[in-house]
Amino acid sequence: MTRKTTHVTPNGNDGWKVIQGGAERATKVFDTKQDAIDYGRDLSRNVNSEFIIHGKDGQIQRADSHGGDPCPPRDKK
């Protein structure tokens, strides 16, 4: 099973973008990180993907599962 992901990443020096894993272009671009997170979280829930938030340096700050976890907890089968 291929893991579906939705990412919030910096968009150069100005703003933030939401991008689906494997995509070449951003789904949407935002001025603030919080706006990108809000949109990305909803999108991730709708497509049942892993939601990954990156910092300004590109490092992963947080990840949440919205149904796309390839290794779900045993009690969630």
DSSP state of 75: G
pLDDT at 38: 97
CB-based contacts of 53: which residues, under 8 Å, 6+ apart? 7, 8, 37, 40, 60, 61, 62, 63
pTM above 0.85, yes or no: no
pLDDT at 73: 64
Is the CA virtual torsion 9, 12, 15, 21 positive or negative?
negative
Give me the residue spans of the domains in the chain.
5-69
Task: List, run by run, the mean pLDDT of 10-residue segments along the chain (77 residues).
Answer: 87 92 94 97 94 95 78 62
pLDDT at 77: 52
pLDDT at 8: 97
Residue whose pair of structure tokens reads 């150069």 in the numeric block: 12
